[in-house]
Amino acid sequence: MAKTYKLRSEVVLWPGAQGAWRFAYVDKKHSEEIRKKYTGPRRGFGAVRVKVRIGKTTWETSIFPDKRSGTYILPLKAKVRRAEGIQAGDTVTFTLDLLA
């Protein structure tokens, strides 16, 4: 299933017990499309494997369903944030490829 999404999201800070996480959101329209069309194996918590590109940085991770927003959330690793100069509150453009 080769489907690429080009998305924009504000980077949000999500405080946690072991430090703060930063996430980007997949908008509701695309989250619903992914939920309906993605038929591959789901990982823990209903996660979907993806390949992501922000700027010149590409990595593989998973997006996770967020019950509060009804969308998927994309965790942004510290290494990626440092490489691309991303801070909480920034708006980022990213591409998301679903992996089978």
pLDDT tens-digit map of 31-67 = 999 988 776 666 667 789 999 999 999 999 999 999 8
State percent of the chain over pLDDT 70. 86
**What is the pLDDT confidence band of residue 18, given thresholds at 50, 70 and 90?**
low
Structure tokens given for 53: 């590109």
In the chain, the domains with their CATH numbers are: 4-98 (2.40.30.100)
6: three-class secondary structure by DSSP: strand
User: Distance between CA 34 and CA 38 in Å, rounded?
Assistant: 5
User: Distance between CA 95 and CA 15 in Å, rounded?
Assistant: 25
Distances (CA, A) of 71 to 27, 55, 83: 6, 23, 26
Q: Which helix (H) or strand (E) holds 98?
A: strand 91-98
Mean pLDDT of 3-21: 83
